[in-house]
Structure formats: structure tokens, C-alpha cells
Amino acid sequence: MKDNYYIGVDIGGTNTKYGLVNEKGEIIFSGSFNTKLYKNPKDLASDIYYDYIKKSNEQHIKASGIGIGAPNGNFYSGCIEFAPNLNWGENIPIVHIFSEIFQLPAILTNDANAAAIGEKFFGAAKEMKDFVVLTIGTGLGSGIFANGNIIHGKNGYAGELGHTTIAESNRKCSCGRIGCLETYVSSRGILQTYKEKCASDVRETVPDDMTTKEIYNLALRGDEIAIETFKTTSEVLGRSLANLILILDPEAIFLFGGIANAHPILIPTITEVINNNVLSLFKDKVKILPSALINKNAAILGSTALFYLKDN
């Protein structure tokens, strides 16, 4: 049988990566581009095309289609809509652009859905029909599988868990509203929590560019404020996930994204808070797990898996 290969493209505000992926989820070759250097998405797609053609000629492999994962990527319209970190206008017809340049069919979804589809086809959710993947990084996204299907919603916007509001927060969100979950559960949110806790201590000013990884490393070394910061983050997330569990009854919730690397410190508190906040029949029913693709490019893999989802 002839192998099928698809191109997966992960468009991010800082970097855009692509890879040629086989049916086993192995990346045959890949490339990375600095998104900020491109004034328009056509130039970016052209550069990816030339890189792909060069490498595919060397290896004598051709792709059958292009899956694209992008922030605010809409599965139905094929457009990236109102993405705050991309400066290419409000409505970017990315599917049209890529399919014209590559002369191949293209499909788009948002990056969190791509991660969830990647988990389903190449990760730890192969046998699961009901699960959620949380992508925790600059923001908080979620990709939801229910009854074996990814949930797009009526308009393609389903899964905006990061912008559900929580009672604990009066922080301003990047979306312009006040009190979104991602004002606590994201790199920016974690830094703010750490800063607030440090302000009540006698510490020097916390630098604005301190990373979640640095705060996590402090926690691993026993720094109490850093440990408390992750505890607060886990508690806030745990209470939100308890509500999500009551609605969806998932088998597992996977943590994905840079911050998910802190899962050894996050998961015990999240699990405890969930158990304290769900109906007793849900207790210990839902597994909170690190994504099996945590150190791989799940968005590239998941974007290509869009084609398998379509075939099913």
C-alpha cells in the first residue's frame, strides 16, 4: 500500500512551523519561519512552498493535502478571524491562499482543536471518545472531543474555555474583557500571580520578562512563593474544570503547551480541587494527564490528522 503524506502547518504569532507527516504521525521533514517578518500571508505560504518543494524533491515524497492549525482558525470559513497576534487583517483566507499556491486541498482549524485531533490520532487519546485537550501558553485554549467527534460549534468558535469568566479574577484579559480564566491560567497570568504574591513579601521587583519556566524552576528548588503561585493557578483551573466535567463527562483532560511541562506540580492540586467541586458520582472518574505529545509539535501532527478525521 502506498503511504499517505500530509503537510501540517502550525501558524503562530512568533513562529510558523510546518512538517510533512506520515500516517504514523512521524515528521519526515520540517521547516520553521519567523511569522513577524512577513507583511502578508501569501509571502509566508510561498516561502513554505519553496522549502517544501526543495525537500520533497530530495526525498521523492509528495503530500496529498495541507492541514493548517492557527489561532482563531475557523474550520468552516477557512479563514483566520480576528487573531490578536497576527497583523494581516481581520479576516485572512488562509485555506484559499495555501491551496492556490500548493495546488492541494487545504483544511484549517484552531490550534487547540489541532492539538486535540493530534492527541486522538497520534497521542494518548486513541481509544477515547470523550476528552479535552487544554493548550496552556500565552493564552488558554481547549479542544473538545464528545461522542468521538471534535466540537466545532455552530460558527466554528467552540472551546473558548480561556475566556469563560471566573469569580476570582478582576484582571483585564487580552480580549478586552475582565475576569477571564486565562488571566490566571496562562504564562501572563502565572507571572501576574507570582508578582502579586511577591509584592506582599519583601522581594525585589519581579522582572516583566520572567518566564513560567523560571518560576517553575524556583518552585522545584523549594521557593514558597513560586510553589504558592502554581497552587493558586491549579486551584483556579481545577474549579473551572470541575464545571466543564459536569457538562461534558470526559474520560480525560490533557494538559498541553509550554506550561504543561509543570504538570508534576499542577496535576495533584487540580485533581484534588476537581474532586472537591464535582458531584460525588464524578469523583476520581476523570484522569488529568500530560499530553503524550507534550514535547512534539502536536499542532503540526493534529493539522495533518484533520484529513483522517475527514475520512472517518
Residues within the interface to Zn ion (CB under 5 A): 163, 173, 175, 177, 180
Choose between 48 and 180: whose C-beta lies nearer to Zn ion.
180
- Shortest distance in whole angstroms from residue 186 CB to Zn ion: 10
- Shortest distance in whole angstroms from residue 175 CB to Zn ion: 3
- Tell me the β-bridge partners of 21: 6, 27
Residue 304: which of 48, 66, 15, 16 has the closest Cα?
A: 66
Choose between 152 and 163: whose C-beta lies nearer to Zn ion.
163
Distance CA 112, CA 151 (A): 11
Choose between 63 and 181: whose C-beta lies nearer to Zn ion.
181
CA gyration radius, the chain:
20
Choose between 118 and 141: whose C-beta lies nearer to Zn ion.
141
Which residues, 6 or more positions from 271, have their beta carbon under 8 angstroms from its beta carbon? 238, 288
- Shortest distance in whole angstroms from residue 148 CB to Zn ion: 30
Distance CA 140, CA 43 (A): 29
- Shortest distance in whole angstroms from residue 253 CB to Zn ion: 20
Choose between 135 and 269: whose C-beta lies nearer to Zn ion.
135
Alpha carbon separation from 59 to 7, 56, 103, 121 (Å, rounded):
14, 5, 19, 25
- Shortest distance in whole angstroms from residue 208 CB to Zn ion: 20
